[in-house]
Amino acid sequence: MKDKGIIEKITSVAEMIFKAKNVVVFTGAGVSTESGIPDFRSPGGLWDRFDPDDFTIDKFLHSAKTRRKQWRILIAGGAFSEAMPNQAHMAVAELERIGKLRCVITQNIDNLHQKAGNKPETVYELHGNMRWLRCLSCGERIYVSDMLKTVQLQELDGFPFCPRCQGLLKPDVVFFGESLPEDTLQEATWQARNCDLMLVIGSSLVVYPAAYLPMYAKDAGAKLVIINKSETPFDSEADILIQEAAGKVMKSILESVKYQMQLKL
Range name among 1-5, 105-109, 150-154, 166-170 with the lowest pLDDT average: 150-154
pLDDT tens track for 127-172: 999 889 899 999 999 888 787 676 665 556 667 788 889 888 888 9
For the full predicted model, state whether its pTM sits above 0.85.
yes
C-alpha atoms less than 13 angstroms from C-alpha of 127 in its C-beta half-sphere: 19
- Rounded CA separation 68/9 (Å): 48
113 tagged catalytic? no
The full set of domain ranges for the chain reads: 1-37+85-127+175-265
Q: Which residues contact 99 (CB under 8 A, 6 or more apart)?
A: none
Fold of 1-37+85-127+175-265: Rossmann fold (3.40.50)
Q: In this model, does residue 265 exceed pLDDT 90?
A: no
Side chain identity at residue 187, one-letter code: E
Report pLDDT for 36: 87
Cα 225 to the center of its chain, rounded Å: 17
* pLDDT interval class at 9 (50, 70, 90): very high
pLDDT tens track for 30-74: 999 999 887 655 555 555 555 667 778 998 888 888 888 777 777
Over residues 217-221, mean pLDDT: 97
Report pLDDT for 169: 86
Q: In this model, does residue 241 exceed pLDDT 80?
A: yes
In order, the DSSP letters of 59-112 are HHHH-HHHHHHHHHHHHHTTTTS-----HHHHHHHHHHHTT---EEEE---S-H
Task: Give me the catalytic one of 62, 89, 113, 127.
Answer: 127
Residues of the chain with pLDDT > 90, as a percent, come to: 64
Over residues 170-196, mean pLDDT: 94
Q: How many residues does the chain have?
A: 265
Cα 248 to Cα 30, 110, 139: the distances in Å are 13, 20, 40
